[in-house]
Amino acid sequence: MPPDRPLRNRLNDLAPKDWLKFQKSWFVHNPPPRRRDVLRHPAKFPETLAQQFIEFFTHAGEIVLDPMVGTGSTLVACLRSGRHSLGIELNPGYAALARQAVTQERAALGETAAALTADVIQGDASHLAGLQLPPIDYVLTSPPYWDMLHARGAATQKQRRQAAELDVTYSTDPADLGNVHDYDQFLDRLCGVYVGLKPCLRPRAYLTIIVKNVKKGGRIYPLAWDLAARLGQTYTLKDERIWCQDDIRLAPYGLGSAWVSNTFHHYCLQFRNDAAP
């Protein structure tokens, strides 16, 4: 490229330096402490992390969807980034919290966010046909990590059980994927949600899924890798970014008897909605 020709950025509004920084295959992100009003949700997604992905994969004014929006982190990040957003949430209580978070963020941002839509749809992302979604420029989401919130041994779960106002699981709804105990059935239903998004996605739009592999019963269930393999048949799997957290205390799992890792990373899987070959 001749040095006097400006870069034509078809993907986002970032300067080349910021673009290159995001291309690193791993990164450390330690979320700020959760506000007390959103502690009820047992696995809240950090707005600060969501904003980084939104600003890389979209231009200002484009539309972002989170089909499992929880308490609204993606919507808040979109308001801060100047993007329109839609969130789908099965749990009515979390949908209400998401709307409250949007209202509070709008008040904080003032005129900056006045023209932006940030809508919460209380419903099941497995049934998108009746929701009449607009064309979507980007999907950012983090699914339930199978049924691991039902594991009673986790120290964080024990702490949450002692606080009556904090949820230990997402819900008791059988439609909630976090309540599906058979791994293959869970994987089928989860992939069905993401495959069902394809008609809504613009050509070459990206889909980012943030997920972990799961330890259960002394073995690893490769949830992230299984999603990559399955969804790679519908979308183009472009790459992964490894989100590392280095502010979590180590625990002596298996000390002196067996290998059990302290897992402080997530996989951020990037897919693109390319035309069928």
Q: Dump pLDDT digits (tens) for 63-107.
A: 999 999 999 999 999 999 999 999 999 999 999 999 999 999 999
Inside any domain, residue 262? yes
Output the domain CATH number for residue 173: 3.40.50.150
Residue type at position 203: P
Is residue 2 included in any domain, yes or no? no
Extended strands (E) in the chain: 26-28, 63-66, 84-89, 118-122, 136-141, 201-211, 214-216, 219-221, 236-244, 265-272
Tally of domains within the chain: 1
Token readout for 251 is 């625990």
Residue 20 counted as domain residue: no
Amino acid at site 114? A
DSSP state, 191? H
Residue among 156, 152, 170, 145 nearest 220 (CA):
145
Query: Is 72 a member of any domain?
Result: yes
d(CA 166, CA 157): 10
In a domain, 256, yes or no: yes
Cα angle for residues 62, 64, 67 (degrees, 5° grid): 160
Predicted confidence (pLDDT) at residue 161 exceeds the cutoff of 50: no
- Residue 93 lies inside a defined structural domain of this protein: yes
Q: pTM to 2 decimals?
A: 0.88
Percent of the chain exceeding pLDDT 70 equals 86
> Considering the domain boundaries, does residue 8 fall inside one?
no
CA 248 to chain centre: 20
- pLDDT at res. 43: 54
Band (pLDDT 50/70/90 cuts) for residue 163 is: very low
CA-nearest of 245, 230, 206, 277 to 46 is 245
- Tell which wins on pLDDT, 109 or 151: 109
CA angle, corner 69, sides to 121 and 213, nearest 5? 145
Is 205 a domain residue? yes
Pairing of strands 201-211, 265-272: antiparallel
Contact predicate 122/171, CB 8 Å: no
> What is the residue range of 256's domain?
27-272
Specify the pLDDT at position 2: 53
